[in-house]
């Protein structure tokens, strides 16, 4: 090719690259395509990393509140027994209805101590139970486990109205929520007005419980009841103070590992403030005591601050 032809070819090529096309030269469009591809790849990697970190935060929160075996499977597919040993009545549902905001006006601090056998060193946990005296939902936050402070544990709401369990998670980078279907919710949505009518001031025995006296727990008058069976002895102290009229939803907390297997299935009406349970065969002893009550609390969790997240879906 002659020098003149080479110069002409180069000039023609430059003209093509420089020619406008929809307001942009071909070179500019190619550059933009490459930039967009790099940006998308980067965003995909960032999204995957966010999903991974979010999943880890959810798993940690599940383990803290419901136990190691109850953590949902990778990808957040289920928390209803899909993992080994899990028996939780929750399943991840993209269409799970929730309230737009959960408000709580009563917060109770509960200390739980467990001794595996008589004379053994007890392990301890502290949880804050949140209630709304006019709404059928409750919230739980783990404050400490085995005497150690807990950072980053999720706040769990059990919503009997919407048949939902909502976990609010806050990490160093962001806040989000996960909504799960709660298939056993209906049993906790019973209105207190439908409860069995009993003259608790005069009754001395009720369904295997006998009254053992009265005392003050966390500033509230409480009645005591004892149940004795060949398996062990359980003492309960309950209050019927109108400020704590949220007992119908309290039993929902039995799914949580701090209460699992320790909450009596049926007990005298009222808000449980203290319990002592001792097993005859093993000597295992469990105590639960409300140590503080804030009956004028103002705590809220809004979905606008914790947007719902579906792991692995964009």
Give the tens place of pLDDT for each residue, 227-268: 999 999 999 999 999 888 775 666 666 666 666 666 777 788
pLDDT score of 42: 56
Q: Hey, where are the domains in the chain?
A: 3-52, 68-302
Q: How far apart are CA 28 and CA 20, in angstroms?
A: 10
C-alpha pair distances (Å), 159 with each of 61, 218, 233, 247: 18, 26, 32, 14
Q: Is the pLDDT of residue 84 over 70?
A: no
Beta bridge partners of 27: none
Q: Which CATH architecture does the domain made up of 68-302 adopt?
A: Clam (2.50)
CA 62 and chain centroid, separation: 7
CA 250 and chain centroid, separation: 15
pLDDT score of 8: 53
Q: How far apart are CA 98 and CA 179, in angstroms?
A: 8
Q: Is the pLDDT of residue 301 over 70?
A: yes
| Residues whose CB is less than 8 angstroms from the CB of residue 83 and which lie 6 or more positions away in sequence, other chains included | 69, 70, 71, 72, 73
pTM of this structure: 0.71
Classify burial at 238, counting beta carbons within 10 Å of its beta carbon; exposed 0-12, middle 13-18, buried 19 or more. Answer: buried
pLDDT score of 72: 46
Q: What's the residue count for the chain?
A: 314
Give the tens place of pLDDT for each residue, 142-168: 887 766 666 666 888 989 889 888 989
CA 281 and chain centroid, separation: 34
Assigned token pair, 166: 């909502």
């Amino acid at each position: 090719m002659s020098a003149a032809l080479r110069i002409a070819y180069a000039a023609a090529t430059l003209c093509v690259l420089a020619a406008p096309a929809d307001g942009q030269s071909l070179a500019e469009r190619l550059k933009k395509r490459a930039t967009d591809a790099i940006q998308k790849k980067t965003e995909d990697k960032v999204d995957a990393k966010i999903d991974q970190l979010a999943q880890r935060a959810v798993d940690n929160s599940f383990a803290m509140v419901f136990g190691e075996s109850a953590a949902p499977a990778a990808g957040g597919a289920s928390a209803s027994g899909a993992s080994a040993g899990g028996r939780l009545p929750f399943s991840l549902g993209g269409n799970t209805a929730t309230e737009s905001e959960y408000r709580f006006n009563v917060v109770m601090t509960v200390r739980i101590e467990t001794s595996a056998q008589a004379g053994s060193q007890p392990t301890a946990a502290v949880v804050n139970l949140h209630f709304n005296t006019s709404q059928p939902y409750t919230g739980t936050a783990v404050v400490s486990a085995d005497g150690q402070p807990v950072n980053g544990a999720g706040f769990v709401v059990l919503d009997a109205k919407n048949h939902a369990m909502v976990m609010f998670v806050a990490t160093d980078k962001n806040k989000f929520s996960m909504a799960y279907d709660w298939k056993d919710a209906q049993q906790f949505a019973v209105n207190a007005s439908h409860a069995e009518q009993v003259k608790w001031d005069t009754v001395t025995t009720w369904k295997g419980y006998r009254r053992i006296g009265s005392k003050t727990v966390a500033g509230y008058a409480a009645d005591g009841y004892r149940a004795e069976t060949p398996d062990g002895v359980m003492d309960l102290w309950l209050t019927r103070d109108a400020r704590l009229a949220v007992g119908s939803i309290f039993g929902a907390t039995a799914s949580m590992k701090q209460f699992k297997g320790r909450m009596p299935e049926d007990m005298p009406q009222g808000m449980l403030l203290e319990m002592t349970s001792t097993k005859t065969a093993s000597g295992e002893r469990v105590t639960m005591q409300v140590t503080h009550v804030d009956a004028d609390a103002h705590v809220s969790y809004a979905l606008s601050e914790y947007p719902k997240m579906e792991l692995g879906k964009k």
